[in-house]
Homo-oligomer: A and B are copies of this chain.
């Protein structure tokens, strides 16, 4: 079955949905966001662009550069947008890497705002579950064992709490902005 078509492919497709770009442009864009999601190596980037083209998700236009190498500008197609929306419609898997959620943050505001809200809500539930799990673990090993484990759990808890707080804050501001008052 395979998670199949997942990560880099979708990310690249998503960036091409923002605006048409060359492979090099994609590389630079992601390099700028490398603190958030890390940029792919050319060894994965270019092959992915080729498969996207073969699958009809993008079209190419080669622009012969004056005084510089020719650039191949990729533009997303209707089929490409459908693939992207299919991916955006399904919530991120529970153990999916952080990157997977950040990608949804980056891309989902181009579609209906409720898509973004759903992702935020889903993530909130996941992080809440994670926090609860970590709390259980902490109590389970209580005073009994090695400090390394304890410290690791505390660390995880601190991060989960902060993330949860941000998610709830953001959801609230979104609710007041779009929904207005409903009481």
Contacts and interface: CB of A to CB of B under 8 A. Distances in A.
Contacts of A110: 146, 148
A116 to B, nearest CB: 8
Given A137-B32, A153-B36, A156-B102, A107 B148 contact: yes
A17 to B, nearest CB: 11
Nearest to A101: B155
B105 A35 contact: no
Interface string A102-132: 1001111110000000000000000000100
A147 interface: yes
A163 interface: yes
Interface residues of A, number: 37
A34 B126 CA distance: 14
A7 interface: no
B148 A108 contact: yes
A18 B145 CA distance: 11
Binding site secondary structure of chain A: helix
Nearest to A148: B109
A85 B127 CA distance: 33
A38 interface: yes
Contacts of A106: 148-149, 152
B170 A151 contact: yes
A134 interface: yes
Interface in A133-162: 133-134, 137, 146-149, 151-156, 158-159, 161-162
A109 B153 contact: no
A121 B155 CA distance: 14
Interface of A: 18, 32-36, 38, 95, 102, 105-110, 130, 133-134, 137, 146-149, 151-156, 158-159, 161-163, 165-166, 170
